[in-house]
Amino acid sequence: MPGAWPVAVVAIVAGSLVGAAGSALRVSVIPWQIGDLVPTLGEVSQDSPRVDVTETIHPFGTIGTGETGSHRFEVRNTGGGPLTLRKGSSSCSCTVSDFDTEATEEEATSRVVPAEQSTFVTVQWKGKPPGGPFRQQVTVLTDDPRRPEIMFVVEGTVLPTWKAIPAVIALPRLTASAIERASTTIFTYGDGAPTVESLEINHPEAARFFSLSSTALSAAELAVEPGATGGFRVDLTMNPGLPLGAVKQLIQVRFRMPQEVIAEVPLEGSVGGDLVLAGAGWDASRQALRLGTVSGRTGSRTRLYLTAKGPGRDQVRPRVVETVPDLLEVTVGEGKPIGSGTVLRIPIDIVIPAGSRPVNHICSEQAPAGRIVLETGHPDSPTLSIPICVAVGP
């Protein structure tokens, strides 16, 4: 019997010879590959097309929201045979328009470029809100074996048609008896200067408490906003007598540049004064009574307190003039002085009766707030509107 070492040496030598023979056999029957690319031996025919482009990325600059931009990329065929171009993929707001013809469906999506001639690929895109940097791209497929596709890229910045600074006019501490003023500046981006046609508050009943005017911006005022080509300032004056409570309105500005544009700027605030509300469910930050969801079978009862101070407090005798929804039962109690007598406190009971029908005034966009409107008798705040957020279920 041979020893262990001679047997091991013979096995190693035999295995090496078998492995080398197997490797040589595989190389002889399997083509040389690098990843998924199989190199082609030989040269491309002189009659083949050849794509030549001098530009594939175009820095467009700025474009307004809703506006259409375009750029022409030149594609030249420097080969010996005709070059066929076909539409490939594109980003969502980018299109190739030069292939559109009134011929067959195939001709509408392709184009043949003869040898030593050129064509243009027109790329179109739209500026989409809200604005900011953009990069749009389209792919054109070719039958050039050296370059089967070309990606054309257009990049730049989308500017809004208009922008308000500040975007919201906030007046957190309004007084019913005082005149308040505020303003916002609207910058525009386009070919022409804007022409203001109208300024309105969207709620007709509130419009009588506001005065609006506009003034074109000077060159120095316009220069502070990069890219702006025009603009104007909207000045707001709030007159005395606005009802107490939350203020939520929209200032609507209609102007041309030259197309018609409607800009909306929210107006938000809270009117206070000598009359103040407090009690269970009262949200002072939102200036609304928040009752949530109430069962229509059992109903609910809530008490608020209206406090009156100042020289007109003795004239305050609230009277209910409107309730929304109309199923609300509102009772105003007798006012009593508190403390040293400089403040009058008046209870207001709000009842949703048992057996009430379903309603929805939960203070959402689909279900606007309800309200209780009081005539107060106060000389500076004759009307008080109390918003109510409530949904009555089954």
CATH number, position 286 = 2.60.40.10
Q: Which of 127, 159, 191 is the last residue of a domain?
A: 159
Q: Which pLDDT score is estimated for 93?
A: 62
249 against 29, higher pLDDT: 249
In a domain, 337, yes or no: yes
In a domain, 251, yes or no: yes
In a domain, 184, yes or no: yes
In a domain, 302, yes or no: yes
In a domain, 59, yes or no: yes
For the CA atoms of 309, 313, 314, 319, the dihedral, rounded to the nearest 10 degrees, stands at -130
> Do 387 and 342 sit in the same domain of this protein?
yes
Confidence grade of residue 62 (pLDDT, cut at 50, 70, 90) = confident
CB-based contact 243:386 (threshold 8 Å)? no
> Do 126 and 235 sit in the same domain of this protein?
no
Residue 20 pLDDT greater than 60, yes or no: no
In a domain, 11, yes or no: no
Residues present in the chain in total = 394
Domain enclosing residue 62, as ranges: 51-159
Phi, psi of 353 (to 5 degrees): -65, 150
> Do 97 and 198 sit in the same domain of this protein?
no
CA pair distance 18, 123, nearest whole angstrom? 61
Q: How many CB atoms lie within 10 A of CB 218?
A: 10
Confidence grade of residue 378 (pLDDT, cut at 50, 70, 90) = confident
Q: Are strands 370-375 and 383-393 parallel, antiparallel or unpaired?
A: antiparallel
H or E segment and range at residue 329 = strand 329-332
> Do 179 and 139 sit in the same domain of this protein?
no
Confidence grade of residue 257 (pLDDT, cut at 50, 70, 90) = confident
Q: Which pLDDT score is estimated for 3?
A: 58
Residue holding tokens 């406090």? 307
Q: What share of the chain is helix, strand, coil (3-state, %, to 5)?
A: 10, 50, 40
Looking at the chain, the number of H-run helices and the number of E-run strands are 4, 28
- Which region holds residue 368: left if phi is over 0, alpha if psi is between -120 and 50, else beta? beta
Amino acid at 198: S
State how many domains the chain has. 3
Q: Chain-wide mean pLDDT for the chain?
A: 81
Residue 255 pLDDT greater than 70, yes or no: yes
The HSE-up count of residue 353 (CA atoms within 13 Å, CB side) is 10
CB-based contact 123:71 (threshold 8 Å)? yes
> Do 243 and 294 sit in the same domain of this protein?
no
Percent of residues, the chain, with pLDDT higher than 90? 39
Confidence grade of residue 61 (pLDDT, cut at 50, 70, 90) = confident
258 against 232, higher pLDDT: 232
Amino acid at 308: A
* Angle of CA points 194, 93, 62, to nearest 5°: 40
CA pair distance 230, 217, nearest whole angstrom? 7
> Do 254 and 297 sit in the same domain of this protein?
no
> Do 352 and 264 sit in the same domain of this protein?
no
How far is the CA of 264 from the CAs of 22, 191, 305, in angstroms?
A: 79, 21, 36
Q: Which of 159, 186, 210 is the last residue of a domain?
A: 159
> Do 69 and 97 sit in the same domain of this protein?
yes
Q: Which of 271, 291, 325 is the last residue of a domain?
A: 271
Residue holding tokens 């203070």? 363
Sorted by sequence, the CB contacts under 8 Å of residue 166 that are 6+ apart come out as: 184
End-to-end CA distance of the chain: 100
* Angle of CA points 371, 318, 339, to nearest 5°: 115
Q: Which pLDDT score is estimated for 4?
A: 54
pTM of the model: 0.47
> Do 76 and 125 sit in the same domain of this protein?
yes
Greatest mean pLDDT among 75-89, 256-270, 272-286 lies in 75-89
In a domain, 14, yes or no: no
302 against 99, higher pLDDT: 302
Q: Which pLDDT score is estimated for 248?
A: 81
> Do 284 and 388 sit in the same domain of this protein?
yes
Confidence grade of residue 311 (pLDDT, cut at 50, 70, 90) = confident
> Do 168 and 238 sit in the same domain of this protein?
yes
Q: Which pLDDT score is estimated for 52?
A: 93
CA pair distance 138, 91, nearest whole angstrom? 7
Q: Is 269 helix (H, G, I), strand (E, B) or coil?
A: strand
Q: How many CB atoms lie within 10 A of CB 293?
A: 11
In a domain, 43, yes or no: no
Is 158 exposed, middle or buried, given 0-12, 13-18 or 19+ CB atoms closer than 10 A?
buried
Q: Are strands 343-352 and 300-309 parallel, antiparallel or unpaired?
A: antiparallel
Residue 270 pLDDT greater than 90, yes or no: no
Residue 125 pLDDT greater than 90, yes or no: no
Q: Which pLDDT score is estimated for 227?
A: 81
CA pair distance 258, 279, nearest whole angstrom? 53
> Do 145 and 189 sit in the same domain of this protein?
no
Eight-class DSSP state of 244: B
